[in-house]
Amino acid sequence: SAASLAEKPGLLGRIFGRGESSAPRRVLDDAMIESLEEVLIQADMGVETALRVTANLAEGRMGRKLSVAEIKGLLAGEIARIMEPVARPLPLYAKKPQVVLVVGVNGSGKTTTIGKLASQFRAAGKKVVIAAGDTFRAAAVEQLQVWGARAGVPVMTAPEGSDPASLAFDAMDRAEREGADLLLIDTAGRLQNRQDLMEELAKIVRVIRKKDASAPHNTLLVLDATTGQNALSQVDTFRKLADVSGLVMTKLDGTAKGGVLVALADRFGLPIHAIGVGEQIDDLAPFDPQDFACALVG
C-alpha cells in the first residue's frame, strides 16, 4: 500500500517539475513559501492548515538556499508532525463484545470497510459478528452478506425496512451469547434527511446501551478520499449526528492523495484508524504518517 501511495505523482512536482535531483538549490523566500501554500491548498489541505505548515517550515529558514530534496523533506516532516498524534489503530478493549458503530454517507465505503475489518480481526483470532443495520438498502445488506461470507463472519440481517435498532439489539444478544469479541454495526448513510438519521442512530445507541451502558465503544466515520474538501463537512455533520470517535479514509489507492486528512487532523484531532487502499478484502492498511506525508509531497 505504501508503494502504491508513493507511485502517485506528488504535489511538489507542480512547482519544481521533473529532473529535480539535478535542480539547483532554491532560496526559501516569500515567493517560494507562497507557491508551497498554493499547492497545499490545492491538495485539499485547507487554507488554515496550509498556512500553518508553511509557517513552521519557514521558521528560522528564510533566505536559506535549499535543495528540492531538502524542501520536500522539510515539508513532509511538518505534515507528518501533524499526523503522528492521530495515527492510531482501532483500540481493542477487554470488554466483550466491543461494539463498533460504523457511520458515513452512502458510497463512502462503509460496507467494504466493515468486511475488511471483520477479516482482519478474524485473522487475529477474534470472534466477530456483523449487523447489517442499513435495513432500508437491500443492496447494502446483500453486499454485507457477501463480505461476511468472504471474511467467514456471521452477518445478522433484518427484513427490508425494519427497525435497525431492534436488529442492533438482537445482534448484541447474539454477540453476547456467542462470546463474540467484536460487534460491527453498519448504519444508514442517508444525509438527505438528517433528522431521521439522527433519530435512527440515537435509537440504535439507546437500545444497545440497555445491554451495555458503555456501548458503542467506538463510532467509526468512513470518509471517501475522492470527495476532497467535502470530507470536512461530513465530519462536521456526523459529529452532530453521532459521537464519532475515529476515522477511516477509503479510496486512497486512486488518484486522490488525501490531503484533506491533514486538515482533518489539524482541525478535529480524531484518530485515523486505517486507510482503504483497494476493493479487496486485504486492502485496509494502518495509517502511517511518514508514508502518507512523503507520498503527499512526492
Site stretch for ligand GDP (CB under 6 A), options 63-71, 90-98, 108-116, 286-294 = 108-116
Length of the chain measured in residues: 298
Backbone angles phi, psi at 183, to 5 degrees: -120, 120
Neighbour-count burial of 76, counting CB atoms closer than 10 A to its CB (0-12 exposed, 13-18 middle, 19+ buried)? buried
Q: How far is the CB of 271 from ligand GDP (least distance, A)?
A: 18
Site stretch for ligand GDP (CB under 6 A), options 10-18, 44-52, 203-211, 270-278 = 270-278
Amino acid at position 294, single letter: C
**Which letter does DSSP use for residue 229 in this model?**
T
Is 92 annotated to bind a ligand? Reply is no
The answer, yes or no, to whether the previous bond of 24 is cis (omega within 30 of 0) is no
Q: How far is the CB of 137 from ligand GDP (least distance, A)?
A: 8
Nearest residue (CB) to ligand GDP, 58 versus 285: 285
110 binding ligand GDP? (CB under 6 A): yes
Q: State the pairing for strand pair 26-27/65-66.
A: antiparallel
Spatial separation of the C-alpha atoms in residues 120 and 99, rounded to whole Å: 16
Q: Find where cell 492548515 sits.
A: 49
Indicate the Cα dihedral angle 11, 13, 16, 20, nearest 10°: 130
Is 211 annotated to bind a ligand? Reply is no
Q: Which of residues 128-167 bind ligand GDP (CB under 6 A)?
A: 140, 143
Q: Which of residues 277-296 bind ligand GDP (CB under 6 A)?
A: 277-279, 283
Q: How far apart are the first and last CA of the chain?
A: 15
Q: How far is the CB of 118 from ligand GDP (least distance, A)?
A: 13
For the window 224-253, what string marks contact with ligand GDP as x by the rule CB under 6 A?
--------------------------xx-x
Residue ranges for the known binding site are 104-111, 186-190, 250-253
Residue ranges for the known binding site for GTP are 104-111, 186-190, 250-253
Binding residues vs ligand GDP (CB under 6 A): 104, 106-112, 140, 143, 189, 250-251, 253-254, 276-279, 283
